[in-house]
Amino acid sequence: MIRTPDASKNSHPKEDPRAPNARGNGSQNKQANAQVNSSTNTTLKNKSSGRLRSKRSAGLERKTTGSLEPESNSRNNNGILTPKSSTNTLRNTESGSAKPTSNAPSRAVTPEPEVFKFTPVSFTEDFRHTINGRKVTSDQHRTVFNPANKQALASAPVADRAQLDEAIDSASAAFPSWAATPIEHRQAAVRKLGQLIGQFMQDFKVLLTKEQGKPIDTHSGWELGGAELWCYGISQLSLPDETILDDNERIAIARHMPLGVVAAIIPWNFPVLLLIWKIAPALVAGNTVIVKPSPFTPLCALKFVELAQQVLPPGVLSCLNGDDDMGPWLTSHPKIAKVAFTGSTATGKLVLQSAAGSLKRVTMELGGNDPAIVMPDVNPKAVAMDLFRCMFNNAGQLCAAAKRVYIHEKIYDQLRDELVAIARQAKVGDGLDPTTMVGPIQNPVQYEKVKGFIADCKANGYNFAVGGEVDLNSPGYFIPITIIDNPPDNSKIVREEPFGPIIPIMKWRDEEEVIRRANDTEYGLAATIWTNDIDRANRMSPKLDVGTVWINDFPYIHPAAPFAGHKMSGFGVENGKLGLQEYTSTHVTYRSKTVKY
């Protein structure tokens, strides 16, 4: 979902054979089923950790009303950027045995037994790769820094090519038995990963805030709570076999089969939530996964995968921290069946080129230059806070956040002044400070890029409604909340995505004109419409060439809803059944009803 600092460079590994089949893995199949069987009939209840509140649904049927959405916080005006989730528990639909390699569910729902308790690990030291269920270090290490103070936070190993090959070989060996494990058992294991996050919520919140920079309760808690919810939500999904033909002569059945080894490449802006967006559907579908976190934010991923070994068979889920070589090695490796990537459009193009050599399946969620359209019927004071959240959530380092704000000329001056007033009250600082509303830019590369946008606006004489003065003596990578007042449509700040707390606001007069301007971009990820006229918004929504439109409702997301970009914002789908299907291939069997031989 937004940016990854790694450059994907082409490499040319020696050709390797495809993953072994199940015939030679009898012992591993028994091991996999023995370990995962302890998960069967286990529901991981959604606890109210990480600001996620649960309500018990009646009966055992699935209730898909979970959500992630913003809420205001009454303490110290911190409601400016306070996400919440008002959810119903996503309930268990698992059952007993299933067809070995099908992603179709088997039989009825069973009651909920007790949850799994994980053995704690250190969250302050001993950061290592996980390969084939074992913790592994490397000769080379990289220092991870806290962006709020530029101080060393931890040392993380940097995997070499031999370690990657070992991880892929172990994932290939584990794939047949994991794919043969009934889907109900795989779903139960993913629910246990949700419980893992819930059990260690506070440890993850502190570590995430230190390595990423986001405010600990309002943002780290939201991300981790969302990751916990996603495990439950995705674990409810399956892909039933479909009878596509059934006449007097023959029957045809379509099934969805797992692909093999998946490479999950994770960005630095949401290093836990986007990790779960990839591994949860991949595991439910029956694939094994190699995780490559951003080298700027590897720590939470390393600890999560280390803990996950307590409920997953060896080789099913591995994690390797790497440098700029790791991405190309993964994306070009012949044993990788699919690449799930979130990052910049420029890097996504390189990933696609690298994956094309072996025609890998690829899902890409890339950049966005997301428009927000504010209609003339809104009350400027009433809409200002929600719009501000939409603009500056996660310090603007959010794929679907508003990057261009079009305000009707009738209310432009009033709403601009309301936004400026909020910006002047919002504290930019260390995410561990409970009064902080906007944290730092995550890394020095992105920090310099955002500074470049500010410099360009100054060089072109654009008006700064607020902000624009960067304190070069600041202890961290802090950028002041900056609003550019009505720059021209062809300006850099309007045409490109800064991915930081600097946003242009522009006037509009005619509806068709503003839709044209909103669509006048190479990107097409998301958009928001702010209005009291819902009928008008409903008419406008399909005219916006984006994957997701929010009407007065940012950033509500749900694990059952597909998320996809148009144009240069990527292709493929994450989340929902369509997202689950991305981790499978289609298999059709035709069978004659006539016995001939």
- Quote the CA–CA distance of 565 and 545 in Å, as a whole number: 9
Amino acid 385 reads M
* Alpha helices (H) in 365-491, listed in sequence order: 380-392, 412-425, 444-459
Q: Is 53 helix (H, G, I), strand (E, B) or coil?
A: strand
C-alpha distance across the termini of the chain, in Å:
55
- Quote the CA–CA distance of 123 and 208 in Å, as a whole number: 10
Q: Across the beta sheet with 129-131, what order do the strands follow?
A: 134-136, 129-131, 317-319, 288-292, 261-265, 336-342, 361-365, 570-571
Amino acid 72 reads S
Catalytic annotation on 15?
A: no
- Quote the CA–CA distance of 361 and 363 in Å, as a whole number: 7
CB 52 within 8 A of CB 46: yes
- Kindly provide the b/e burial profile for residues 511-542, where b requires at least 16 CB atoms within 10 angstroms of the residue's own CB: eeebbebbbebebbbbbbbbbeeeeebeebee
Which two structure tokens, joined as six digits, stand for 508? 């509009």
Which two structure tokens, joined as six digits, stand for 102? 């099908």
- Quote the CA–CA distance of 315 and 337 in Å, as a whole number: 15
Length, in residues, of the chain: 597
Residue 122, φ and ψ in degrees, nearest 5? -75, 135
CB 404 within 8 A of CB 450: no
- Quote the CA–CA distance of 194 and 205 in Å, as a whole number: 15
Nearest Cα residue to 3 out of 394, 289, 354: 394
CB 185 within 8 A of CB 37: yes
Which two structure tokens, joined as six digits, stand for 502? 């600097």
- SS3 string, 186-251, reads HHHHHHHHHHHHHHCHHHHHHHHHHHHCCCHHHHHHHHHHHHHHHHHHHHCCCCCCEEEEECCCEE
- CB atoms under 10 Å from CB of 23, counted, come to 7
Q: Compute the 3-state secondary structure of the chain and give helix, strand, coil in percent, each to the nearest 5.
A: 35, 20, 45
Cα 106 vs. chain centroid, distance in angstroms?
29
Q: Rg of the chain's alpha carbons, rounded to an integer? A: 24
- Quote the CA–CA distance of 196 and 283 in Å, as a whole number: 16
The residues, ordered by sequence, that sit 6+ positions from 218 with a Cβ below 8 Å of its Cβ are 51, 73, 78, 81, 82, 83, 437
Which two structure tokens, joined as six digits, stand for 85? 């989730």
150 secondary structure, DSSP code? T
Selecting among 166, 211, 306, 365, the annotated active-site residue is: 365
349 secondary structure, DSSP code? H
Catalytic residues: 365
